[in-house]
């Protein structure tokens, strides 16, 4: 079965290579490659046993002198992230079809190359391999934003690049330190789990990793690169960043931070949780003041990811399971939101809320699909956002009631600013600009219908997804608690 995981990682690379030489047909080749990867993902899900074991494992020598191996595998935590990646990539590619990008072949090849990097991150069981995947996923999105972004793309992209590279360097220092402390002199994740560092050194490693992951998510106060980057990036780049790439940080906290430095988490986890909740409230308040719809959704994303981060640091099953399902839900919802804004911008050349209005009159299908996605975003019962945010708040409540009170503001505030956004854009009378707006058609319909179907399906019946990750989450928490108990 190990061949399945090798294929999973190699297929996007092969697809990227073919796409790069496909000329004008590149977008069709890229979509086929992404759909093949999705089909393979369903095969893996069908053959996956939902227990705590790591399956489809590959473990080959790579750089033997340094103890580096190509070691990868999939458990329930990995599988949710892999599903998210390979479900969203074909949706994002299809969503880009209405654009005529210059150098189309390079654009779609970069998307597939990024997909390969993301899959390495979500399956790596060797810290060096994880770091390579982490950087490999950054390079394509940098070029996508730098070449096809807005008028301020150079300045904004440089800020994004500096932030992410700085975070990566902190993580690299942490990995090198753990390698030097490892008597086996390798980068194996289990060897890192087994290290017995004192509380002080675990604290230093905690911050080395947390800064890298917090920048990627992003968590307050490491978030300042995000709103400008989301606004200036091309629509496809924004979807990749918000839908999938920020989940690298969430996954990194769960997979690498918690089990390696549990005493560091014990000492500093509350600080991280407080920062996450500050981000929830701060970003929600800032979202109220936004006049540009794209920036409003960017700040909304910071608030929702802050809630996910807080749920993780609550260190209980409910918070962790909520984080897993909400990663998937947030990715689907935020891609849908940014796609709706892209449709509007492609027709009207504006995302300024004050210039819109009455779109439901001339585009009823867009209005209905947009409303379903908004309901998912504000966690209406029966939508994908509800089960995740309910479990997250339950987990945070078990940690501290006051933390849950402030974290819960994300649902209240999100409902206010998202419904107000919907009202200002969709309802009321049309104006001179919006009167000529046309309803969704072709690939736009397909993308929005798929996203709406996922929002409803996950909301109505989330059990299969929760079942996939439950055993792996419980084992991880038991491992963390066992190490803390043995020390205390």
Nearest to residue 30, comparing CAs of 16, 13, 41, 44? 16
Residue range 419-436, pLDDT digits in tens: 999 998 888 888 888 888
Rounded to whole angstroms, what are the CA distances from 43 to 5, 178, 403? 11, 36, 41
pLDDT in tens, 110-142: 999 999 999 999 999 999 999 999 999 988 988
DSSP codes of every residue in 405-425: HHHTHHHHHHHHHHHHHHHHH
Averaged over 284-295, what is the pLDDT?
88
The average confidence (pLDDT) of the chain is 89
How far is Cα 217 from Cα 443, in angstroms, rounded to an integer?
A: 30
| pLDDT over 70, % of the chain | 99
Question: 454 and 331 in contact (C-beta within 8 Å)?
Answer: no
Q: What confidence score (pLDDT) does residue 487 get?
A: 60
- Output the CA torsion sign for 381, 384, 385, 389: positive
Which residue carries 């942490």 as its tokens?
174
The pLDDT of residue 488 is 57
pLDDT at 189 over 60: yes
Average pLDDT over residues 155-177: 87
Q: How many domains does the chain have?
A: 1
Residue 155 is part of which domain span?
2-487
């Amino acid at each position: 079965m190990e061949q399945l995981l090798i294929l999973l990682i190699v297929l996007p690379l092969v697809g990227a290579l073919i796409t790069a030489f496909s000329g004008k047909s590149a977008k069709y080749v890229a979509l086929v490659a992404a759909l093949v990867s999705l089909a393979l993902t369903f095969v893996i899900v069908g053959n996956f046993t939902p227990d705590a074991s790591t399956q489809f494992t590959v473990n080959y020598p790579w750089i033997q002198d340094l103890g580096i191996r190509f070691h990868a595998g999939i458990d329930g935590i990995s599988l949710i992230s892999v599903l998210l990646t390979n479900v969203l990539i074909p949706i994002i590619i299809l969503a880009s079809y209405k654009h005529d990008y210059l150098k189309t072949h390079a654009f779609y090849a970069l998307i597939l190359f990024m997909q390969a990097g993301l899959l390495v991150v979500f399956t790596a069981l060797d810290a060096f391999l994880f770091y390579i995947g982490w950087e490999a996923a950054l390079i394509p999105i940098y070029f996508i934003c730098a070449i096809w972004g807005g008028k301020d793309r150079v300045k904004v992209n440089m800020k994004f690049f500096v932030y992410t590279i700085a975070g990566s360097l902190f993580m690299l220092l942490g990995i090198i330190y753990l390698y030097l402390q490892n008597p086996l002199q390798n980068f194996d994740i289990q060897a890192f789990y087994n290290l017995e560092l004192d509380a002080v050194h675990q604290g230093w490693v905690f911050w080395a990793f947390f800064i890298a992951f917090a920048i990627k998510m992003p968590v307050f106060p490491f978030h300042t690169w995000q709103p400008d980057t989301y606004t200036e990036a091309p629509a496809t780049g924004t979807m990749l960043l918000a839908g999938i790439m920020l989940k690298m940080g969430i996954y990194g906290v769960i997979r690498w931070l918690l089990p390696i430095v549990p005493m560091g988490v014990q000492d500093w986890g509350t600080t991280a949780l407080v920062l996450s909740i500050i981000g929830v409230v701060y970003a929600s308040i800032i979202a109220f003041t936004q006049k540009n719809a794209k920036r409003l959704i960017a700040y909304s994303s910071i608030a929702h990811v802050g809630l996910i981060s807080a749920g993780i640091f609550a260190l209980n099953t409910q918070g962790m399971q909520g984080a897993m399902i909400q990663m998937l839900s947030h990715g689907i919802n935020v891609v849908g939101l940014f796609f709706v804004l892209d449709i509007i911008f492609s027709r009207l050349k504006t995302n300024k809320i004050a210039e819109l209005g009455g779109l439901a009159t001339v585009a009823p299908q867009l209005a209905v699909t947009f409303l379903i996605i908004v309901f998912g975003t504000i966690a209406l019962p029966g939508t994908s956002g509800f089960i995740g945010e309910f479990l997250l708040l339950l987990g945070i409540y078990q940690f501290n009631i006051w933390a849950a009170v402030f974290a819960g503001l994300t649902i209240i505030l999100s409902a206010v600013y998202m419904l107000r956004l919907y009202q200002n854009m969709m309802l009321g009378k049309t104006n001179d600009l919006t009167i000529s707006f046309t309803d969704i058609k072709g690939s736009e319909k397909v993308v929005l219908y798929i996203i709406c179907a996922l929002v409803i399906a996950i909301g109505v019946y989330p059990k299969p997804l929760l079942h996939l990750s439950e055993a792996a989450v419980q084992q991880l928490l038991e491992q963390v608690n066992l190490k803390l108990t043995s020390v205390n």
